[in-house]
């Protein structure tokens, strides 16, 4: 009698187990193609840019006027610019394929071949995105240092 | 220029990636220092998590870029293509995380500000609370001091008024609305003849002698609010009456309802007696002056009448009608002269001798003459004569006359009842330096209403012809002349306790004088 009752209670779980062991076609699960990763990455850049703008607005709203907080805002500006550059770079990558590069020796001898269009030049420029990200991180470092110093001064006072 | 080398871009990418890793870690270090210094500070917490996420992102991206360049430099493009999706995925994930942390700032800072505001408010409230607590503490300390000072003052005041209440020689009392005496000092109880130990439950109805006085007292105190110098008579525990001067104030509650009264009463019995005695003395003095004047005026024509009547008696036979009439004239003229002489004695116009006298000897002399007559009427004489007493200065004859008067009066008071006792005592009161002679009988006594008049000239209760009413007034004049006093006690206290009869207490001052007689 007990065995019958237990089996009755376990029946939904047994059905689920059977379906798991013999999956067949899992139609409920959506398949993802290769471009999806690029789109997500690009959306992340947009989201990050928006978040940085929101952070700038938030800091200004907070009325923190010290040097450290000003540097943090500059960091945000540079990071936002970097995001724009990176987003542009990723977008232009599809327009500039391997045929536009020539290589005489190894990888380090790779050159972007002419004729130079605005897309090619912009693509080359976006490859130099560290010109924005490095200053951004430098300002972040200065911001953190400044905020730390300010907090020490306040504590001393 | 037909082509641009990619080498600068490759170098910038590699060097930049490396610098980014270094700078992100340096930033994280300061964020770590901040959070370690103030772990509860939201801002430092935000910066730390922001820097931490940025480090992760920087490392992920920079390492990805470096690996890419290294793989490509060493012609391992296939391997990089395997690794590239992971690197990109991580970068995407961390970039989203970084964005999420950045978004968290604004809401976080709002919460932080709200908490800070609350904390500030709480701090201000705490500070105000501390200030209030401090004020309260100071107030409490001050209050304790004030209470202590007030208590001391109150205790001192209470002691002062308690002493006044207890030590007052006058009656101080408190009475409730139903006339009950709720508090009375010991002097008041003593005045009324009670003791503190008895704790008598008295009311004003019991204390006031006259109902009329009490009604007057209450009417005045309720209508006016106080009573001032009200003369009243109080009844003592033994039934005797004392004369008091009363001042009292009404007590009202918050609703102006009469709740009782408080008062002070002064015993003026002695003062009143003295005043009466003084008035009596003045009356006697004026009567004496008048009597002396009348006596002098009458004495001359009386002498002429007596002289001529005696001359005419020589011309007529005693048996003749004229002789009989002249004898009557002579007898009545002599009687008049005796009255005149008594009046002069009363007014102290007669001559007096001044000699040292033992009072008990005078009493013995008088008794020697009167005792026989007294015994005839079954009156027993009891002597209590102290022989060890000092002498007084005075006129023996006049004092004999005084004591004869007293004994005769006692005799008359007892002769109707057929028997009696006459007590004579004489002793010395050292404290007052007085010799006191007392003549007490067991007769009918003197009615209260006439006690004050017995020393008045011509006042007598005897039938016409039996007394002139000059005996006691003459005695009074003589005792006054000797500087003494006469006290009347009627009914007089007896040894067995039952008051009966009359007692005369004659007090003589003891003064040292030469024994030689002097004429005044």
The DSSP annotation for B300-311 comes to: HHHHHHHHHHHH
pLDDT at B170 > cutoff 80: yes
Give the residue from chain B lying closest to A42, CA to CA. Answer: B92
Contact A134 B16 (CB under 8 A): yes
Number of A–B residue contacts, CB under 8 Å = 141
d(CA B184, CA A142): 96
Lowest mean pLDDT among A70-79, B74-83, B129-138, B463-472: B463-472
- Which of A63, A148, A156 should we substitute to test contact with B (largest number of B Cβ atoms within 10 Å)? A148
Rounded to the nearest integer, the mean pLDDT of chain B is: 85
Question: Both tokens of residue A110?
Answer: 């790779």
Residues of B in contact with A133 (CB under 8 A): 16, 20
Q: Average pLDDT for residues A114-142, to the nearest whole number?
A: 92
pLDDT at B339 > cutoff 60: yes
Residues of A in contact with B81 (CB under 8 A): none
d(CA A17, CA A7): 14
pLDDT at A53 > cutoff 90: yes
Q: Using H for helix, E for strand and C for coil, what is the string for B372-412? A: HHHHHCCEEEEEEECCCCCCEEECHHHHHHHHHHHHHHHHH
Residues of B in contact with A145 (CB under 8 A): 30
Question: Both tokens of residue B309?
Answer: 């009547």
Q: Average pLDDT for residues A115-138, to the nearest whole number?
A: 92
Chain B contact present for A122, CB below 8 A: no
Q: What is the pLDDT of residue B169?
A: 87
Helices of type H across B41-76: 42-73
Contact between residue A71 and residue A150 where contact means Cβ atoms under 8 Å apart:
no
Contact A137 B20 (CB under 8 A): yes
Contact B85 A144 (CB under 8 A): no
pLDDT at B519 > cutoff 50: no
Lowest mean pLDDT among A10-19, A73-82, B297-306: A10-19
Q: What is the pLDDT of residues B253-312, one digit of tens each?
A: 888 888 888 999 998 888 888 887 778 777 777 777 777 777 778 888 888 888 888 888
Question: Both tokens of residue B462?
Answer: 């005897």
Residue from the list B3, B38, B99 with its beta carbon closest to the beta carbon of A47:
B99
Q: What is the pLDDT of residues B53-93, one digit of tens each?
A: 999 999 999 999 999 999 998 988 888 889 988 898 999 99
Provide the shortest C-alpha distance from residue A45 to chain B (in Å).
7
- Confidence grade of residue A22 (pLDDT, cut at 50, 70, 90): low
DSSP state of B457: T
- CATH number for the domain whose boundaries are B273-347: 1.10.287
Q: What is the pLDDT of residue B495?
A: 67
Q: Give the domain ranges of chain B.
A: 7-136, 168-267, 273-347, 353-519
Residue with tokens 């006042």: B459
Give the residue from chain B lying closest to A39, CA to CA. Answer: B92
Contact A144 B51 (CB under 8 A): yes
Lowest mean pLDDT among A66-70, A117-121, B192-196, B452-456: B452-456
- CATH number for the domain whose boundaries are B168-267: 3.30.450.20
pLDDT at B142 > cutoff 60: yes
The architecture that CATH gives domain B353-519 is 2-Layer Sandwich (3.30)
Chain B contact present for A145, CB below 8 A: yes
Lowest mean pLDDT among A135-144, B296-305, B486-495, B509-518: B509-518
Provide the shortest C-alpha distance from residue B126 to chain A (in Å).
22
Q: How far is CA B472 from CA A157, B307, B458, B476, in A?
A: 116, 31, 9, 6
Q: What is the pLDDT of residue B517?
A: 39
Q: Which residues pair with B436 in a beta bridge?
A: B427, B507
Q: What is the pLDDT of residue B137?
A: 86
Q: Which residues pair with B210 in a beta bridge?
A: none
Give the residue from chain B lying closest to A80, CA to CA. Answer: B99
Contact B6 A54 (CB under 8 A): no
């Amino acid at each position: 009698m007990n065995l019958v009752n237990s089996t009755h209670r376990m029946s939904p779980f047994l059905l689920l187990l059977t379906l798991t062991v013999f999956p067949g076609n899992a139609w409920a699960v959506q398949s993802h193609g290769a471009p999806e990763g690029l789109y997500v990455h690009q959306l992340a850049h947009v989201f990050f840019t928006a978040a940085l703008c929101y952070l700038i607005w938030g800091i200004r709203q907070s009325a923190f006027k010290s040097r450290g907080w000003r540097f943090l805002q500059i960091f945000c500006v540079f990071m936002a610019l970097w995001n724009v550059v990176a987003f542009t770079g990723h977008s232009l990558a599809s327009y500039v394929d391997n045929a536009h590069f020539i290589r005489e020796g190894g990888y380090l001898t790779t050159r972007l071949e002419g004729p130079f269009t605005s897309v090619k030049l912009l693509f080359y420029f976006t490859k130099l995105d560290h010109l924005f990200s490095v200053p951004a991180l430098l300002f972040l470092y200065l911001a953190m240092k400044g905020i730390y110093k300010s907090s020490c001064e306040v504590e001393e006072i | 220029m037909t082509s641009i080398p990619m080498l600068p871009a490759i170098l910038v990418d590699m060097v930049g990636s490396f610098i980014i890793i270094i700078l992100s870690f340096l930033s994280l270090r300061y964020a770590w220092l901040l959070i370690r210094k103030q772990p509860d500070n939201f801002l430092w917490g935000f910066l730390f998590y922001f820097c931490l996420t940025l480090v992760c992102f920087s490392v992920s991206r920079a390492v990805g870029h470096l690996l890419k360049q290294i793989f490509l430099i060493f012609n391992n493009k296939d391997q990089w293509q395997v690794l590239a999706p992971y690197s990109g995925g991580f970068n995407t994930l961390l970039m989203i995380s970084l964005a999420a942390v950045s978004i968290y700032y604004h809401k976080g800072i709002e919460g932080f500000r709200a908490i800070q505001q609350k904390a500030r408010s709480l701090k201000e409230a705490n500070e105000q609370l501390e200030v209030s607590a401090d004020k309260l503490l100071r107030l409490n300390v001050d209050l304790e001091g004030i209470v202590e000072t007030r208590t001391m003052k109150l205790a001192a005041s209470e002691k002062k008024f308690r002493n006044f209440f207890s030590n007052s020689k006058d009656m101080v009392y408190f009475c409730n609305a139903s006339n009950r005496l709720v508090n009375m000092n010991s002097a008041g109880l003593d005045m009324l003849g009670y003791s503190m130990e008895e704790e008598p439950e008295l009311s004003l109805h019991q204390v006031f002698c006259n109902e009329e006085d009490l009604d007057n007292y209450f009417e005045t105190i309720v209508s006016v609010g106080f009573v001032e110098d009200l003369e009243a008579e109080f009844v003592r525990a033994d039934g005797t009456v004392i004369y008091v001067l009363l001042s009292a104030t009404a007590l009202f509650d918050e609703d102006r309802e009469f709740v009782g009264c408080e008062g002070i009463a002064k015993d003026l019995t002695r003062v009143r007696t003295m005043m009466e005695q003084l008035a009596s003395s003045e009356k006697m003095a004026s009567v004496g002056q008048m009597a002396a004047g009348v006596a002098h005026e009458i004495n001359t024509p009386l002498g002429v009448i007596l002289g001529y009547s005696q001359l005419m008696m020589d011309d007529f036979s005693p048996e003749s009608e004229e002789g009989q009439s002249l004898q009557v004239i002579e007898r009545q003229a002599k009687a008049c002269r005796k009255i005149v002489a008594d009046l002069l004695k009363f007014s102290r116009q007669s001559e007096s001798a001044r000699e040292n006298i033992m009072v008990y000897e005078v009493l013995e002399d008088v008794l020697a003459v009167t005792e026989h007559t007294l015994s005839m009427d079954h009156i027993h004489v009891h002597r209590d004569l102290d022989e060890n007493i000092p002498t007084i200065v005075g006129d023996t004859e006049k004092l004999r006359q005084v004591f004869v008067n007293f004994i005769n009066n006692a005799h008359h008071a007892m002769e109707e009842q057929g028997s009696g006792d006459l007590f004579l005592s004489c002793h010395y009161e050292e404290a007052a330096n007085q010799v006191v002679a007392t003549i007490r009988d067991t007769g009918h006594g003197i009615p209260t209403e006439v006690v004050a008049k017995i020393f008045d000239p011509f006042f007598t209760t005897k039938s016409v012809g039996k007394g002139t009413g000059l005996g006691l007034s003459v005695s009074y004049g003589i005792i006054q002349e000797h500087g003494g006093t006469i006290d009347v006690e009627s009914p007089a206290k007896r040894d067995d306790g039952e008051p009966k009869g009359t007692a005369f207490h004659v007090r003589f001052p003891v003064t040292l004088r030469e024994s030689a007689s002097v004429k005044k």
